[in-house]
Amino acid sequence: MPHRHACILAASVAGGAGCTMGSPASPPFDRPWEPAAPGPSAPPPPAEATSPYSYVAKVKNVLTGMPPTDGEVLSVVGAADPQAQLRTLVQGWMTLADPNSAEGMTYYAEKMLVFFERATQQSQIGASDFADQVHPGKVDVNAATVGWLVRNATESFARTTVHEVVDGTQPLTLVVTARSFMMTTALMELYAFLDGWQVGDDSSVVDAFLRAYPDAILTAGSEAVPTSQSVDPSSPNFMRWTDSDVAPGGPYASLLGPSECSTDPVTEPTTGLRLQYLLYGAVAAHTLPDLSVCPEWDGTALGTQVGNPSLGGADDFQDWRMVTVRQPAPGEATARFYDLASLRSATTLVLDLPRVGFFTTPAFFANWPTNPSNAMRVTTNQMLIGALGAMVDGTDATLSIVGDGGLPPGLDPEHAAPGTGCYACHQQLDPTRSILASTYSWYYHRQDDAAVSAQKGEFAFQGVVAYPQSVYDLAGVLASHPLFAGAWAQKLCMYANSQACDPSDPEFARIVDDFASSAFSWSELVVDLFSSPLTTGATATQTAAHEGDVVAVSRRDHFCAAMDFRLGFDDVCARLPTTTPVSPVIARVAGGLPADGYGRGAVAPVLPNAPTLFYRSGTEVICEAIAALVIDVPSDARVSKRTWSSADPAAAIADFAQIVAGLVPSDPRYGPVLSILTSHYAASLAQPGASATSALQSTFVAACDAPSAVTIGQ
Amino acid sequence: MIHRRQALLTTLFGAGYMGLRAIATGVPASLLLDPRRLLAAPPPPNPSARFIVFQTSGDGDPINANCPGTYDDAGGSAMTSGIAHGADPSMARTPLSLGGATWGAALPWAQPWLAVPNVITPGVWQAVLDRTTFWHLATATPIHPKEPSVLKLMDQTQSDDMLPSILARYLAPALGTIQAQPIAIGARSPSEALTYGGQTQPLIPPTAIKATLASPAGPLSSLQALRDQTMNALYAVYKTGATAAQQASIDALVTSQQQARAIGQSLLGMLDSIADDGVASQITAALALIQMKVTPVVSIHVPFGGDNHVDPDLVIEAQQTAGVGPNGALGADLTGVPAIAALMSAVYAAQLQDAVAFMSLNVFGRTLAAATGAGTGRQHNPNHHVAITIGGAFRPGVVGGVAPFAGAAGDYGAVAIDSTTGIGSPGGDIAPAASLASWGKTMMAGVGIDGATIAREVVAGTVIAGALSG
């Protein structure tokens, strides 16, 4: 009777309160969990089968961030085939709409958005990481817009995957073969700018805009100029832009004070980079005819062209849509990055530079800068990790075909001469990276070195040898690689279980086979893996036998998503760079919570699983701050959809147990937990100086720090 | 400022329910009455135990190009064209004294205060130098992602743990720290995360440490002790009938709560000055965590130029070694030798010089010959890296050395080390390939870990007895 013992403990804390105090109808505490009777062919349950009260909550939490309902758990508890019933539940959970999502997304899609940002290595970047691609400038210096632009770049590919694969019907191989991407107008502008700002291997810049319009004068002033004229080369107002920041008495003039620089309008020598700055409200540093230097002006929200509501750009950072990126037909012009009006209505972007899959996005390139020495090797290795879950490590027996000079094609003998310790890796990495090196410069622009461009190399990796002639061919090689299915099943396993599945586990092999034979249906994989004993622990698996079960802390992405979705916050942890924190304390502390991450040359994600004193303290601080935001909050000060009143503590505490701690009423733990929380409320209220509000807030914190709230799998 | 945990301590030890909590946690009630007693069980006597500030970077570094021991190549041999130092005047050979012996090094090593005024006084710096040792090693890898492997002494640790974690595990009982796990506060990417017992430890930047530990007391602070009792009761409910994995997780939560409550309150004010996650803040946070006895080992990240292949003139290398970033301002841009000086200045100011040791180990050094180390952008050097230690356990000076390396045409590598003297010589009994593991063993010996344990934990290499003081 294990739970009777718990009842006694609860009563002690409550100062004698009974177990049933405040508890709704709940099963007897001494009712042990009884797994469904196994069928004739079912294996015997393992000695430590996980209760459906735990694993149903785990699956729904990881998948959607939400707690289960009593009916959902009971449907599994009472099912003849619990796994099949869980499959049905998972399929339903994948369609649960988030009523707080401005874009009408499902909880599942929102979780997958973060998953795919990590899995395709589009996150962990800031504006400075784009330095190579915009060399020698910066991608955006305006504090009012740069966070949005980086967020757009970070989210673009994950949104593509969610739109096409998670919510759509495309196979997961699209992660490497996609040629259409979810983009905003701002992101289209960035892609188009990068296309015309050509930085070669030697860091020399060819400015397509300057070449096209060498005599243009770049002017920013307070005078109202229709943007249709600003971008029309035949208009006398070509390259004259409206920028309210430079008006007399405006912030630009205030920054400079009386100065030759603070004129209205400001005129600058024309370059593509200066125009890029101007589109985001900045005025690049420039030299006047008298040789005095005007400093850089970073701009404000009022001065930007991109994302400025008054200039028709209210949705420039949020007008997500699928955009097909293609190379120009003979004689066809490429996209003009400064023609924002055209970009706002476009669904096709004509660019010289090929873009395909996750591994050629500006965000991926920002993550993995290369250089003349590295020569695209890190890019290639990270591409292999992202696509195939494997890296060049010197142990792969796949041999390149020896080419001219008796060396693998593309091998850099100066960097890794045969016979050196480096050769084992370089004999594969160098030929395989060649197709990227022949396509992109070390600054991720068009490769214009004819010798390098001509060396297409050879893809030789883990049993596959191929000769891609373009990055599109390379994408096809990756999509058809035998490692693809297992790699993505493994990524999902690590996401669900905070540890890898044993690749030799028959259950894992079944799931991988099913995934491959489903034409790489992501939904099928999710349903299969999330209902599998690999995730639930409902029955024995080889993975559990070999690796043990992991009950991990709820890392930042999971914890913050649960708080957002369950309580109706919009990014309470301020994980997005564009979020204005509702609580600076939460934002700062959340920055130190254990977080999923990926590292250079690391096949497995970094997953801190164990609680530390910082995690314990951090979640407590966050829970306290959240408590202040959801309890006894005046209606005009609410920042969450769900709030509670200390006027009805019983209802609130029941919600805490179910919504925050995630326990359903039929869970044997529910009654004792409710009793303990209720007792805590009563005891808190009795403390000197305590109020009903603080007592209920403290009760919320206890629920928020309960094991089922701060770990995955309790 | 009243910190939230000060409020806790005013009530925690007066609270009741010890029997209940003992049942809930499995910890004897007598210990629960004083959590610090639990954490401060009589340590095995180890007068050599030290807290460690462990500097590490997966970027690689050019320390091996400007520190003592790398300015004595007289134009190179027939194989090389001499060790390439940056053209910046600060990279010119400057004499300095290490324990009474004169060596040549770049100017910042001799006078770090020139670029960063007042970072340390000359007198304290000389005291620091007289405890500083430069270890010429080979990490045997030119690959950035091998940073975790290097911290595992290129996978020569028996437990597959990283050296900082092994040190932490053995130092925690002797130092009476709240937790044994090391804390990574300077890691710039997940690649620089530390593992302990196979578990990845979170990256906790200084601002998060401050926000987590030193938040102002709120209205719920007075209810924290009561809430702890509630949490213990909740833990008991969850633990009953749980699987072994679930029980272990709850045990870890119980432990983490106890550890959180054991943090000293009077020192939290040290965190007040932290405003960012730069090197200066890392130093502040590291010393605060040490003085609060939170952990035996704190890792930080001090830039020394890193891996900058597009720095053919070694300008960035010179800037960061001298200790200033592009802005030339002390603070978030603190780098290189002055960063170490700032750390040691703070250590001496707190009179912790006999309690805190500094160790530095990065993934690799840079190539040194002019043909490979400069002019074309520096390259990764698997054959030569310089680790640094500061602490009384090690003889000041230079251990090992550098010479033209037969295996890498035209460049330099570490030479063999004589374990009895620490001197680098071709006839030394520690081959370059074993130098990293030997350094790890010597670090363990320096902080008082016994020989049998060292031999068990690190399966290769030899303690460099000649480098140990006393």
pLDDT one digit per residue (tens) for chain B, 470 residues? 334 333 332 222 223 333 323 333 333 333 333 444 444 456 567 999 999 999 999 989 999 999 999 987 655 544 455 788 888 899 999 999 999 999 999 999 999 999 888 899 999 999 999 999 999 999 999 888 889 999 999 999 999 999 999 999 999 999 999 999 999 999 888 888 999 998 889 999 999 999 998 877 777 889 999 999 999 999 999 999 999 999 999 999 999 999 999 988 778 888 999 999 999 999 999 999 999 999 999 999 999 988 766 677 888 888 899 987 654 444 456 899 999 999 999 999 999 999 999 999 999 999 888 766 655 556 788 999 999 999 999 999 999 999 887 765 668 899 999 999 999 998 999 999 999 999 999 999 999 999 999 999 999 999 999 999 97
Note whether A627 contacts B220, CB cutoff 8 Å. yes
Give me the DSSP letters along B412-453.
EEEPPB-TTT-BB-TT-SB-GGGHHHHHHHHHHHHTT--HHH
Q: Distance, in angstroms, between B237 CA and closest chain A CA?
A: 5
Output the CA torsion A524→A527→A528→A534 (10° steps).
150
Contact between A349 and A181 under an 8 Å Cβ cutoff? The reply is no
Nearest to A220 by CA among A171, A141, A282, A292: A282
Q: Which residues of A touch B220 (CB under 8 A)?
A: 624, 627, 694, 697-698, 701
Give the one of B183, B191, B205 whose C-beta lies nearest to A599's C-beta: B191
What confidence score (pLDDT) does residue B405 get?
79
Rounded CA-CA distance A268/A346 in Å is: 29
The band of A26, judged by pLDDT with boundaries at 50, 70 and 90, is: very low
Q: Which residues of A touch B301 (CB under 8 A)?
A: none
Note whether A613 contacts B249, CB cutoff 8 Å. no
Residue of B nearest to A701 (CA): B227
Q: Distance, in angstroms, between A594 CA and closest chain B CA?
A: 5
Of A261-265, A411-415, B275-279, B344-348, give the lowest mean pLDDT range.
A411-415
Residue of B nearest to A415 (CA): B379
What confidence score (pLDDT) does residue A544 get?
94
- Whole-number Cα distances in Å, A348 to A160, A351, A499: 15, 10, 40
Give the one of B143, B218, B234 whose C-beta lies nearest to A673's C-beta: B234
What is the average pLDDT value for chain A, to the nearest integer?
A: 90
Q: Distance, in angstroms, between A616 CA and closest chain B CA?
A: 6
Q: Distance, in angstroms, between A93 CA and closest chain B CA?
A: 25
Rounded CA-CA distance B30/B39 in Å is: 13
Q: Distance, in angstroms, between B229 CA and closest chain A CA?
A: 7
Output the CA torsion A3→A655→A91→A491 (10° steps).
-80
What confidence score (pLDDT) does residue B3 get?
42
Main-chain dihedrals φ then ψ at residue B200, nearest 5 degrees: -65, 130
Contact between A31 and A668 under an 8 Å Cβ cutoff? The reply is yes
Per DSSP bridges, beta strands B51-55 and B297-300 are parallel
Note whether A601 contacts B249, CB cutoff 8 Å. no
CB within 8 Å of A124: residues ≥ 6 apart: A367, A597, A598, B189, B190
Output the CA torsion A683→A684→A688→A692 (10° steps).
-120
Residue written as token pair 């930042």: A556
Residue of A nearest to B197 (CA): A610
Give the one of A421, A599, A710 whose C-beta lies nearest to B189's C-beta: A599
Note whether B237 contacts A610, CB cutoff 8 Å. no
Nearest to B241 by CA among A50, A100, A617: A50
Rounded CA-CA distance A351/A345 in Å is: 17
* ipTM score of complex: 0.88
Note whether A694 contacts B219, CB cutoff 8 Å. yes
Contact between A407 and A399 under an 8 Å Cβ cutoff? The reply is no
Note whether A12 contacts B17, CB cutoff 8 Å. yes
Note whether A609 contacts B200, CB cutoff 8 Å. yes
Q: Distance, in angstroms, between B256 CA and closest chain A CA?
A: 4
Residue of A nearest to B250 (CA): A707
Residue written as token pair 């060819």: A206
Nearest to A174 by CA among A159, A187, A190: A159
Note whether A372 contacts B236, CB cutoff 8 Å. no
Rounded CA-CA distance A514/A512 in Å is: 5
Tokens standing for residue A264? 């209205």
Residue of B nearest to A29 (CA): B237
**Across the A/B interface, how many CB contacts are shorter than 8 Å?**
246
Straight-line distance from the first to the last Cα atom of chain B, in angstroms, rounded to the nearest whole number: 45
What confidence score (pLDDT) does residue B372 get?
65
Q: Distance, in angstroms, between B114 CA and closest chain A CA?
A: 29
Note whether B233 contacts A9, CB cutoff 8 Å. yes
Residue of B nearest to A685 (CA): B223
Q: Which residues of A touch B17 (CB under 8 A)?
A: 12-13
Tokens standing for residue A323? 């955009």
Chain B interface disruption, residue of A614, A621, A663, A670, most B CBs within 10 A: A614
Tokens standing for residue A294? 């005007």
Give the one of B208, B213, B223 whose C-beta lies nearest to A684's C-beta: B223
Note whether A614 contacts B17, CB cutoff 8 Å. no
Contact between A458 and A410 under an 8 Å Cβ cutoff? The reply is yes
Residue of B nearest to A713 (CA): B246
Give the one of A54, A420, A702 whose C-beta lies nearest to B230's C-beta: A702
Nearest to B384 by CA among B60, B101, B55: B60
- Percent of chain A having pLDDT more than 70? 91
Q: Decide: residue A641, CB within 10 A, 0-12 exposed, 13-18 middle, 19+ buried.
A: middle
Note whether A616 contacts B253, CB cutoff 8 Å. yes
Straight-line distance from the first to the last Cα atom of chain A, in angstroms, rounded to the nearest whole number: 19
Rounded CA-CA distance A304/A282 in Å is: 7
Q: Distance, in angstroms, between A122 CA and closest chain B CA?
A: 14
SS3 B318: helix
Note whether A13 contacts B263, CB cutoff 8 Å. no
Note whether A601 contacts B17, CB cutoff 8 Å. no
Contact between B185 and B285 under an 8 Å Cβ cutoff? The reply is yes
| AA identity, residue A126 | G
SS3 B385: strand
Tokens standing for residue A57? 């909550």
Rounded CA-CA distance B309/B294 in Å is: 38
Rounded CA-CA distance B402/B66 in Å is: 12
Give start and end residues of each alpha helix (H) in B275-362: 279-291, 315-322, 336-349
Give the one of A48, A51, A702 whose C-beta lies nearest to B234's C-beta: A702
Instruction: Round the CA-based radius of gyration of chain A to a whole number and report it.
Output: 29
CB within 8 Å of A380: residues ≥ 6 apart: A392, A429, A432, A433, A436
The β-bridge partners of A359 are none
Q: Distance, in angstroms, between B407 CA and closest chain A CA?
A: 8
Rounded CA-CA distance A657/B216 in Å is: 28
Note whether B211 contacts A621, CB cutoff 8 Å. yes
Task: Centre a 10 Å sphere on the Cβ of residue A545 and count the other Cβ atoms it contains.
Answer: 11
Q: Read off the pLDDT of residues A90-147 as tens digits, 9 standing for 90 and up.
A: 999 999 999 999 899 999 999 999 999 999 999 999 999 999 999 999 999 999 999 9
Tokens standing for residue B299? 């890792």
Chain B interface disruption, residue of A616, A677, A679, A694, most B CBs within 10 A: A616
Chain B interface disruption, residue of A546, A573, A612, A660, most B CBs within 10 A: A612
Give the one of B231, B242, B408 whose C-beta lies nearest to A705's C-beta: B231
Residue of A nearest to B186 (CA): A592
Residue of A nearest to B262 (CA): A613
Signed CA dihedral, A444, A445, A448, A454: sign only: positive
Note whether B223 contacts A621, CB cutoff 8 Å. no
Contact between A276 and A294 under an 8 Å Cβ cutoff? The reply is no
Rounded CA-CA distance B86/B284 in Å is: 31
Main-chain dihedrals φ then ψ at residue B400, nearest 5 degrees: 75, -160
Residue A490 in this model has a pLDDT that exceeds 80: yes
Q: Read off the pLDDT of residues A548-602 as tens digits, 9 standing for 90 and up.
A: 889 999 999 999 999 999 999 999 999 998 999 999 999 999 998 999 989 888 8
Mean per-residue pLDDT, A182-206: 97
CA angle A580, A584, A589 (to 5 degrees): 120
| AA identity, residue B129 | L
Residue A633 in this model has a pLDDT that exceeds 80: yes
Give the one of B218, B241, B248 whose C-beta lies nearest to A2's C-beta: B241
Q: Calculate helix-pair angle for A423-439, A471-479, nearest 10 degrees.
A: 130
Give me the DSSP letters along A42-70.
SPPPPTTPPPHHHHHHHHHHHHHSPPPPH
Tokens standing for residue B3? 């910190």
Q: Which residues of B touch A543 (CB under 8 A)?
A: none
Residue of A nearest to B234 (CA): A673
Per DSSP bridges, beta strands B385-390 and B132-137 are antiparallel
What confidence score (pLDDT) does residue B371 get?
65
CB within 8 Å of A327: residues ≥ 6 apart: A350, A351, A352, A354
Q: What is the model's pTM? A: 0.86
SS3 content of chain B, % helix, strand, coil (to 5): 40, 15, 45
- Whole-number Cα distances in Å, A96 to A67, A88, A440, A622: 12, 13, 42, 27
Note whether B207 contacts A600, CB cutoff 8 Å. no
How far is CA B107 from its chain centroid? 24
Q: Distance, in angstroms, between B298 CA and closest chain A CA?
A: 14
